[in-house]
Amino acid sequence: MISEGGNFSRNSGYTLIELIIVIALIGIMLFFSIPRFQEGIFTSDTKKVSRWIIVKVNALKHKAVSERKNYTLHVGMDKSKMWVTHDAMSEDEIENAQQQGYAFPEALKVLDVVFPGLEKISHGVADICFYKKGYSDKALIHIENDDNRQISFVIEPFLPKVKLHDKYLSFDD
């Protein structure tokens, strides 16, 4: 097209072909970059327990600081149960907290809890403390599902988030 001044003008825009190619490339990138949760390694019970542990540990770290109390997450290996107490609870309240604790689904069990420099605790109860000064014990919680898949939760003393790994970790890893 020739304009009045005799110069050629070009419409500024993209052709339909260019737009289709860009959309197709974006679609291909999304297809390969988004994880497929339908074929994930975790069952729904495993996801549920993982969410509970991650949310509970994060909440306990914040709660200990905001309420100025020391909290303890008790991990019962024999019954695959977890419950929370704090340092101002009476004996009756502690017993009630244990009875009302979070019981794992039958398909999952707690293997052990490991603290750095100590032997792993695979029977009885392991206590992970969250202190009012803003830190916690460093610990690894290991669980196993009915497919013998092992999962490790890493609780760091000064980090609010729990790290989740789909294998059995040790502090040497």
Among residues 154, 162, 130, which one has the least CA distance to residue 62?
Answer: 130
DSSP 14-48: --HHHHHHHHHHHHHHHHHHS--GGG-SS-HHHHH
Residue 11 lies in a domain: no
pLDDT digits (tens, 9 = 90+) for 1-15: 455 555 555 667 788
Residue 116 lies in a domain: yes
Residue 76 lies in a domain: yes
In the predicted structure, residue 19 carries a pLDDT above the cut 60: yes
pLDDT digits (tens, 9 = 90+) for 111-146: 999 999 888 999 999 999 999 998 999 999 999 988
Domain span at 97: 43-165
Residue 16 lies in a domain: no
> Which DSSP helix (H) or strand (E) runs through 130?
strand 125-130
| Threshold 0.75, pTM exceeds | no
Give 37's pLDDT tier (boundaries 50, 70, 90). very low
Q: Total structural domains in the chain? A: 1
In the predicted structure, residue 173 carries a pLDDT above the cut 80: no
DSSP, collapsed to helix, strand or coil, labels residue 133 as: coil
Phi first, then psi, for residue 92 (nearest 5°) are: -65, -40
Residue 170 lies in a domain: no
Residue 22 lies in a domain: no
DSSP 137: -
Among residues 154, 145, 152, which one has the least CA distance to residue 166?
Answer: 152
Residue 48 lies in a domain: yes
Mean pLDDT of 16-41: 74
Decide if 139 contacts 104 (C-beta within 8 A).
no
Decide if 105 contacts 118 (C-beta within 8 A).
no
C-alpha to C-alpha distance for 138 and 157, rounded to whole angstroms: 5
In the predicted structure, residue 41 carries a pLDDT above the cut 60: no
Residue 26 lies in a domain: no
Domain CATH code at residue 74: 3.55.40.10
Mean pLDDT of 25-53: 71
Average pLDDT, the chain: 85
